[in-house]
Each structure stands twice: as C-alpha cells, then as structure tokens.
Amino acid sequence: MENNVTRTFKNLEHKNEKALIGYIVGGYPTLELSRGIIEQLILSGVDIIEIGVPFSDPMADGPIIQDAFTKTLNCGIAPKDCLNLVKSIRERHKETPLLLMTYSNILYSNGLEKFLTQSKNCAIDGFIVPDLNFEEADDYLKITTKLGLSTVFLTSPNTSTQRLRKIAVSSTGFVYMVSVFGITGSRNKFEKYTFESVSRSKSIVSSYGKQLAVGFGISNAQDGKKMIESGADGIIVGTSLIKIITNNEHDQSKMMSELDIFVKELKAICKVPN
C-alpha cells in the first residue's frame, strides 16, 4: 500500500537520490522552536522527519538525547504536545513523511488503540518503536494496518537472516538498521562489520521490496557516504542535529544556519551520480 513514506522513497529513486532522515526531539528546546527547526530541516533538504517523543527512561539512547529528553520533560512537554506539533507541521507539508519515534510505554500506557488513533488524527504517518519487536507486535500491527499507519521495525548487525525477513515483512515504511552494537550517539569510526551488515541486510530487505535506512552514530558526510556505498537506501541522523541545537540554544539564527550547512552536506552525498 502506498503511503507518504513509500511515495517519498519512490520519488527519490526517480531522481537517483537516497533518503536523508532527520531525528529531532519533540518540544526541544521549546515547542515553538522545535517547529521552526523542523521547518528548517525540510527547507534544507531532509526527506523524512522523525520526532522523538520524550521518555523518562530511554534505554536505547546515549547521553545527548537523554539530556534533551530530561530537559523537555522538565518543561512539562507531554506526548500530546508532540502530536499537535506534527499536526501543525502537516498544514504546510502535506507529503513530507512525519514519523514518531517513541518507546513502548508511551504507546501502551493509556491504551494502544487510543494513542494510535489520536496520532492518526494528527496526521502522523507512522511509528518507530525501538523496544518493540515483531514477536510482541500483534496488536500494534493490527491497529496500525487498520488505521493505515506506517511501521518501521529495527534490525541490528547481529540479527539473523530469518528474523530480518520477518522484520522486512512487518515494516510498511522502511527497515531501520542500527549500524553498531550500541546506543545512539556519534562514533569516532565505524568498523568493517557495520558495512558488511548493511550490504547483507540491504539484499534481504530489498527482496521484499522494502527500503533500508541506516542510523546510530552517523555524524558526518563521510560516514553517510560509506553507508550509501554499502547499499543503504537512506541515512538517519539524530544526535548530531541535537548537538547543534543544544550548542546554539541561545542563538537561533546560528542554530538554523549550522543546521542548514550540516543538512546540505549530508544531502549532497545522498545524490548518487549515475
């Protein structure tokens, strides 16, 4: 079934481009500013936006995203604020995929169906849930299918081929490959196993007609280029964006210009020469 995510990948393919996926924390540093940041990212060339819903105990995230979550929660930002954030972005960007990245407890705490329905009503395209695997996802898959929400499951370098097949089948958006053994945050250097896993995963995922995007630890254009050369259909950056935001919290114009430069550098390597 076509949705904003698959349509975006198809359009990029026509242009011979790979997807640049940007992650930000909803409501960070403020609700108003995070809206401006998303606008800037889209303007600078990000193809798909992931909005992290702040959670008290983010076990897959490194210190930079944890700190952003803590600060945001201390300001009283709630999941419904993230939903409304998407709703307001959607008014201006009908086709840009807007995904929520959230831990399971946020989805389930007040009733899974209720939260997913509210999300649908706020024009969210789909979900990335780092602590939800397909084995535990029967209800989630049933409801997201019914509502037409995209699902993105994660895979890791140590995921077996057999599991990856199921992950590909369960993912209606793209498959999110975690590049390393570890949590979010930049790495000095990727090891060989990452690039080998990207190639292996790409061939399995694409046999199901799905796309593979790689994230965790990508902090510069060189890293992104290597992921693409290994076969990634898209690259995901998060911590690096949050770092720019945090470092320039009190100088918005500098924040926006640094985001613009960073995104353009990354987008440039997503344009693959023939």
Partner 1 sequence: MKNNTDLGKFGTYGGRYVPETLIPALEDLDKWYRRLKVDKSFQRELSGLLINFAGRPTPLYYANNLSRHLGGPRIYLKREDLLHSGAHKINNTLGQVLIAKKVGKTRIIAETGAGQHGVATSIASAVFDLKSEIYMGAKDVERQQLNVFRMNLLNSKVHSVHSGSKTLKDAINEALRDWIANVQNTHYLIGSVMGPHPFPTMVRDFQSVIGKEIKEQVHKLTGKLPDAVIACVGGGSNAIGSFYPFVNDKKVKLIGVEAGGKGIRTGFHAATLSKGRIGIFHGMKSYFLQDENGQISEAHSISAGLDYPGIGPEHANLRDTDRASYPYVTDKEAVKAFIQLSKLEGIIPALESAHAIAYIIKNAKNFKKDETVVVTVSGRGDKDLQIVRECISGSEVGIEKNMQAKGIGLEDGE
CA dihedral sign, ordered 126, 131, 135, 140 = negative
197 phi/psi in degrees, rounded to 5: -65, -35
Shortest spacing between CB 146 and partner 1, in angstroms: 21
> CB-wise, 88 or 110, nearer to partner 1?
110
Shortest spacing between CB 108 and partner 1, in angstroms: 5
Please identify which of the residues 13, 39, 47, 50 carries the catalytic annotation: 50
CB contact at 8 A, 7 and 95:
yes
Stretch of 105-113, 203-211, 241-249, 253-261 lying at the interface with partner 1 (CB under 8 A): 105-113
Q: Does 123 bind partner 1 (CB under 8 A)?
A: no
> CB-wise, 56 or 145, nearer to partner 1?
56
Q: Does 222 bind partner 1 (CB under 8 A)?
A: no
CB contact at 8 A, 185 and 139:
no
Q: Which position among 31, 33, 75, 108 is part of the footprint of partner 1 (CB under 8 A)? A: 108
> CB-wise, 93 or 200, nearer to partner 1?
200
- Dist. CA 208–CA 96, nearest whole Å: 24
Q: Which position among 56, 88, 161, 207 is part of the footprint of partner 1 (CB under 8 A)? A: 56
Shortest spacing between CB 73 and partner 1, in angstroms: 6
Angle between helices 79-92 and 112-121 (to 10 degrees): 30
Stretch of 14-22, 42-50, 75-83, 266-274 lying at the interface with partner 1 (CB under 8 A): 75-83
Sole residue written with tokens 């509502």: 147
CB contact at 8 A, 72 and 28:
yes
> CB-wise, 96 or 119, nearer to partner 1?
119
Stretch of 38-46, 65-73, 201-209, 232-240 lying at the interface with partner 1 (CB under 8 A): 65-73
- Kindly determine how many residues on this chain lie close enough to bind partner 1 according to the rule CB under 8 A: 41
- Dist. CA 264–CA 216, nearest whole Å: 19
Q: Is 50 a catalytic residue?
A: yes
Between residue 138 and residue 177, which ones bind partner 1 under the rule CB under 8 A?
A: 153-160, 163, 167
Q: Is 61 a catalytic residue?
A: yes
Between residue 175 and residue 194, which ones bind partner 1 under the rule CB under 8 A?
A: 178, 181-183
Shortest spacing between CB 155 and partner 1, in angstroms: 6
Q: Does 248 bind partner 1 (CB under 8 A)?
A: no
CB contact at 8 A, 131 and 108:
no
Angle at 174 between CA 227 and CA 94, to 5 degrees: 110
Q: What does the block give as tokens for 226?
A: 């290597």
Q: Which residues are catalytic?
A: 50, 61
Chain residues in the site for partner 1 (CB under 8 A): 55-60, 62-63, 66, 70, 73, 78-80, 103-106, 108-110, 130-133, 135-136, 153-160, 163, 167, 178, 181-183
